[in-house]
Amino acid sequence: MKHYVELLLDMNFGYGTDKAVRTHASKSSGKTFYLWFSVVSSLITFFPRSPDVANIYGASHGDDIYYLFRSDVIQALYEEVLKNNHTKESKVSLQAIDNISTIYTNLAKYGTPTYQNEPIEGFQSVQQDKVFFLDINNLGLTIGRRPNQIAFDFWESIEKRAIELSKDLKKPKQKAERNEL
């Protein structure tokens, strides 16, 4: 089940995001930054509530919003984090809230993601084939190059092959000669 979910996520979200980031960086006159969110804590809303995927580790689409903006929908979860702020789980949630709100705010305000008024060491904008990303995760902030590169290269090869095949389908078919009796 875990591999199936990863396959679907890469196909439906990850590869498209990766391609959009690379395309934006190649066409934009400004800087393109690739931020990745993989925090897993008590504020994650989907996985703990669905028994079908309860054993799959990770944030789901949109979970980062609850770290950036407070929501009445999960008010009880916020209260639990604040009540138990000494636990490891709550510390991860509070640190993630601080990280994501600071980085996104500074990106909007200054055009570059910074933390505590300092550049994030080693983090660069995306430049042509150099795809740098910043992962906001349970350990804090991690810098990397092209997340899930092996999977995304696979999907890119599938896409290229599909384009080749579709060109063959678009070619006009020649009429077969008829043998008249």
Tokens for 74?
Answer: 């999960």
pLDDT of 80 reads 93
pTM equals 0.76
Q: Could you tell me which residue, 174 or 94, shows the higher pLDDT?
A: 94
Torsion of CA 44, 78, 106, 131, to 10 degrees: -10
Q: Taking the CB of residue 90, how many other CB atoms lie within 10 A of it?
A: 18
Predicted confidence (pLDDT) per residue in 72-124, tens digit: 988 999 999 999 999 998 999 999 999 999 999 888 888 888 887 778 888 89
Looking at the DSSP assignment, which residues form a beta bridge with residue 134?
Answer: 35, 143
Do 128 and 25 contact (CB within 8 A), yes or no? yes
More confident residue, 84 or 63: 84
Predicted local confidence at residue 173, as pLDDT: 67
Span 142-170, pLDDT tens digits? 999 888 888 889 999 999 999 988 887 77
Domain boundaries, the chain: 2-170
The reported pLDDT for the residue numbered 99 is 92
* Closest listed residue to residue 88, CA positions, set 55, 45, 135, 41: 41
Beta pairing class for 132-137 and 35-37: parallel
Distances (CA, A) of 138 to 15, 91, 94, 100: 23, 9, 10, 12
Q: Is the pLDDT of residue 52 over 70?
A: no
Q: Is residue 53 scored above 80 in pLDDT?
A: no
Q: Are 38 and 59 in contact (CB under 8 A)?
A: yes
Q: Tokens 């043998």 appear where?
A: 179
Find out whether 89 and 98 touch, Cβ atoms under 8 Å. Answer: no
Collapsing DSSP to helix, strand or coil, 89 comes out as: helix
3-class DSSP state of 126? coil
Q: What is the pLDDT of residue 49?
A: 54
What pLDDT shows up at residue 61?
72
What's the CA gap between 127 and 53, in Å, rounded?
36
